[in-house]
Amino acid sequence: MSNYDLALEDIDVFHYEEGSINFNDLCAENGFTYWYARDYMKMLGYQKYNSFKKPVNKAITTCMTLDIDVTDNFVQVNRVINGEEVKDYKLSRFACYLIAMNADGKKLEVARAQAFFAAAAETIRRYVSDASQVERVLIRDEISIHEKSLSGVAKEAGVEKYALFQNAGYRGMYNMNLSKLKDYKNSPDVRRTLLDYMGKDELAANLFRITQTELKMRNENIKGQRNSENAAEQVGRKVRKTMIEIGGIAPEDMELEEDIKKIKTSLKQTHKGLKKIDD
């Protein structure tokens, strides 16, 4: 959720221009209920469409990560506004929700939007109202992509025991081997990767560690199992040092959160629940 605490009377409807137009007033119907992105952005406190495209693109990526049909929720169109033809999107209610969850939480308008969707989804059994949980899904998916890339680089470097190479990166960052780390953090399922239970900040740090390990190996043309393990551990130690200096907490002491699989399931249920509102 955002940094703002809103009273219940603030979230019954979601207004634009000091209450003159609310969220539901802006919707249209033509095959499905939709909101234009360029209209919706003003409700979220954005003035320029180029700035607004960032949360839109993140929302689209979230949809793809969840295996939810993007074209059912984001329809690209051309519109004429003030005599000029511009590109726009027709957004489903779920698309509007995802954009709000990926938008700038420092904006009061975004806080109101997030509260509005939470109130509108009271009938949904599981509903994700914390924007950081949506970010977790995105970062976790990005880690998977970069882990595959790093695996390819390690293979080219002559790494034959990838598990040892991977463990070296964790050892550098957490000051202990992965097996011990799972015990230390009281992993809910030792058979699963800890990444599925890490919070947003810890996931982001691991994403940085993985991408920088790949960069170091490429730039320095590192070859061989031992040299590769050393590189992974060195990068991990530098990430660890930075985290402690900036955040004041060692990564092994950061609390685990709800299983990422449950968050994904909740988002899918949110999609179905918000869709029913317009059916």
Q: Give the C-alpha separation, 89 to 39, whole Å.
A: 10
Tell me which residue of 3, 4, 47, 39 sits closest to 23, measured CA to CA. 39
Who wins on pLDDT, 248 or 2?
248
- Scanning the structure block, which residue is given the tokens 């689209």? 60
Tell me which residue of 122, 131, 73, 99 sits closest to 273, measured CA to CA. 122
Model confidence over 141-159: pLDDT tens digits? 999 999 999 999 999 999 9
pLDDT for the residue numbered 32? 84
Q: Which one-letter DSSP state was computed for residue 92?
A: -
pLDDT for the residue numbered 120? 65
How big is the chain by its Cα radius of gyration, in Å?
Answer: 22
* Average pLDDT in the chain: 89
Q: Give the C-alpha separation, 136 to 194, whole Å.
A: 13
- Where does the pLDDT of residue 102 fall: very low under 50, low under 70, confident under 90, or very high at 90 and above? very high
pLDDT for the residue numbered 97? 93
pTM for the model stands at 0.84
Model confidence over 119-145: pLDDT tens digits? 765 555 566 778 889 999 999 999 999
pLDDT for the residue numbered 1? 42
Mean pLDDT of 227-234: 98
Chain centroid to Cα 119, Å, comes to: 22
The 10 Å Cβ neighbour count of residue 15 is: 17
For the chain, give every domain's residue range: 8-120, 132-264
- Scanning the structure block, which residue is given the tokens 């909740």? 266
Model confidence over 169-225: pLDDT tens digits? 999 999 999 999 999 999 999 899 999 999 999 999 999 999 999 999 999 999 999
pLDDT at 6 over 50: no
Helix (H, G, I), strand (E, B) or coil at 87: strand
Who wins on pLDDT, 154 or 117?
154
Q: Give the C-alpha separation, 247 to 48, whole Å.
A: 33
